[in-house]
Structure 1
Amino acid sequence: MTILVTGGAGFIGSNFVLDWLAGSDETVVNLDLLSYAGNLRNLASLQGDARHVFVKGDIGDRALLDGLLAEHRPRAIVHFAAESHVDRSIHGPGEFMRTNVMGTFTLLEAARGHFATLQGDAKSAFRFHHVSTDEVYGSLGPAAPAFTEQHVYEPNSPYSASKAASDHLVRAWHHTYGLPVLTTNCSNNYGPYHFPEKLIPLMIVNALAGKPLPVYGDGLQVRDWLYVGDHCSAIRTVLERGRVGETYNVGGWNEQANRDIVLTICALLDELRPDPAGPRARLITHVADRPGHDRRYAIDARKIERELGWRPAETFATGIRKTVQWYLDHADWVADVQSGGYRDWMSKQYGGGATA
């Protein structure tokens, strides 16, 4: 038995591959282009493990996809591969359209061709699991109810628009062609192996280096935070028991303002690795807000709990402590991902004083 994972060297994808192989002997074929955020060091513990078959390649390469599906005949495809950083999508939306929209289209067509070759139990068991985001729903007011699976799509950035498009493609391939799909829309993930352009790892890395902690606007933007290990368990649950054609929202029940996240990280670092120069909250620097910045996201995850019995195991307090400790324990990984290209990007986005 085999599953095909796309984007399995990225943040969430690599955590999923590691989690999957920690609890199963089922082979994972891991397809990743190894763009700036893909990192094989995330999977170093699997070196020499025959259950992990890594293939460097693009989800937009139909010939490659057809060959992999014919050779390995996976019982499921778990689709993580995506460009995912809002700021990058604002500066360069083309790559997001190519990967998230056209890449997903190509993968769906390859999956449809593969599905047509299956028979009997193999055909009835096959699943295409599409991993998406709560950002497709747009922005919520301070007192508005959290996003449910019936919420109208209102994407506000090139990134979220590209993911909304991919969600619609997945739905259409199910209703038009009968492809057995599952979709999960998750809230903001955090945890080990998170590329330090996103809020939590950036704050940890900069604070440890004594550099400014750039906070957009007033810092009161609210997100629902989901520990990546909990996200992995949710995907396993949906893949195993989810109803074909359904969407499940996956959240952490942890709404937090960005400013409070940064203050929590500062307090944890002050406790775990004190800075002789003083409390790290002194490093907080407010920068100009980004265009179209959504004010609040919140996930209503009652459907997945009601139908499949899943709830997150981590609170934000337990998950953020584990995350901070992981970065303290893996300074070599942090140094490795801070390439010249990454430093150039951070300088462009936040200014020279906020680079990581």
Structure 2
Amino acid sequence: MRAKIAAEDENGTLTREIKHTIFKAYGYNRMEPFQSLFNKALNTQAPEQAVVEAMAHAIRLKLKNWHLNGHDYRATSMRGYPLITIAALHGNQDALNECLWNGVSPNQPAQWHDGLPLDYVRPCLKGIPYSLQTQGASVLETLIGVGGIFTYMHVFTHICAIGRVDLLKHAVHNGTDLGNLRSCNGNTVFQEALLLDMDQGPIIDYLFSEHYTLAYATDNEDRSAMYTSTQLGNEAFCLRLMSRPDTLANEPKKQDILLMAIEGDMRELTLELINGSDYVMGPCHSGLPFEDTPLGRALATDNAELASALLLNSNMHVPGPVKAEALQYAGVKGFGPDILAQIENLPTECPWMLS
């Protein structure tokens, strides 16, 4: 399937329509995992209703009285949720502190439920009131500060949204495994950061310097960070990825990325790709409709400059029938004599055919 190319408006930013299309292609709904994880917890009935009220409404006195009556802060609700998780869910800093001061682990697991206390902090997303977002950021800071880890992608998203690379580093130090994080459709941390427009921010800098191999991870559609950044039209980040010698060797969709780069007029990236040792241009032009080959895509976009750069590249070899079709296609499209001569001079005895 031909990849969707990110168009840009007059200000150089992705148009809303195209961005929506890309997000839809990634199955993107950040509220979905939030709802599926929290719906049951929101309906939790604690061992005593007074505890739920204390968590939800910051009535610390009730929580203290409950403790003085002989109950344990490490108790769970009838549905199996720890009190510290209920405190995190309601963004109740007083109740959270009360649990921590009384020896509750910031990573107390629930009974027969997924998620740790940090996973239940309300994410900083549209549809969540600002007051709850602020409470959520405070709870994040508290739990991570005392050793908390998280296991769901929406917590990473929350940290990205508030720009707290310090919290991310601390959570990783605590034991959070970024490699195991996936969104509802399998987005990786690199893809999530790119989709949040964090490509030039401290979060992506940290990932690139300390967790670079996660860029090779793919989502449910076998798309990597390289694929996503190309699809978003982010040539600068693509070139940054290409600065690592093993990027192409670990890329499962090299052909698709090359076609997107050509169609998106990313000349520097295109040349970097076809100069890469993992690209052999002959097979890239075999067994495909001409318009879906690198040369065909360059000619189809009426980009004479990029087409010329491809034709003059030393790695450019095509099968004889493709050369003949290119000549015919370029003539119909009205390309000048220079392009036609460059096509005429294309070698057709490809090294990959002779080996």
Q: TM-score range by the shorter chain?
A: under 0.3
TM-score (norm 1): 0.25
Which of these two proteins has the greater Rg computed from alpha carbons? 2
TM-score (norm 2): 0.25
Structure that is richer in strand per residue: 1
Structure that is richer in helix per residue: 2
